[in-house]
Structure 1
Amino acid sequence: MPMSAAIRHHHYTPETAELSLWFGPEGRRYIYSDVPLAVYEGLRDAPSRGRYFNAVIRNRFACRLADPSALRNRRWQAIRSAS
């Protein structure tokens, strides 16, 4: 799997056509809307995810920063339910 210095992790939800990307060492998550499956597959298979992101995704799809507190809450709930 190709690695990227900027993009730490990616996830695609086909039912909603949402692409989640985690950036940088702080792991900020951005959610991109209405992303076709072919675009996600291109990102997943690209030799350079950063270059692909800049050429195909950046400024072409609506995006929002995922609420960091919601992510922390989900992690905490998962930990609590596992105990």
Structure 2
Amino acid sequence: MPSSVIRSFAYDEPARRLDIEFVSGRVYAYHDVPPAVARAMAASGSRGGYFNRRIRDRYRFTRLPEASMAPE
């Protein structure tokens, strides 16, 4: 389901890193995210809501260059 907040995201399971591109164009890498959390976000009916409830303010993050995510 499309999100009004999140443009795209990708999960690297071996690195436990969730990269999220927001509609603002900003891209962040969230570190040490368990696979179950990433799967639940992918299955969520509201990815923005899931992000706010389960990821934001819970995992360490770094900001990435805005062109770092490949287009879907």
Task: State which of 30, 49, 52 in structure 2 corresponds to 1:54.
Answer: 52
Cα contact 2:25–2:66 (8 A) shared by 1? no
CA distance in 2, matches of 1:35, 1:57: 8
Which structure dedicates a bigger proportion of its chain to strand? 2
Decide which structure has the larger Cα Rg and report it: 1
The offset of 1:20, in angstroms, is: 0.2
Unaligned runs of 5+ in 1: 72-83
TM-score, normalised to structure 1, is: 0.76
Cα distance in 1 for partners of 2:37, 2:5 equals 18
* Greater share of helix: 1
Q: Which runs of 4 or more aligned residues in structure 1 lie more than 3 Å from their structure 2 counterparts after TM superposition?
A: none
Identity across aligned pairs (percent)? 35
The count of corresponding residues between Structure 1 and Structure 2 is 68
Q: SS in structure 1 opposite 2:37?
A: helix
User: Where do 5+ consecutive residues of structure 2 fail to align?
Assistant: none
Alpha-carbon RMSD: 1.3
1:76 aligned partner: none
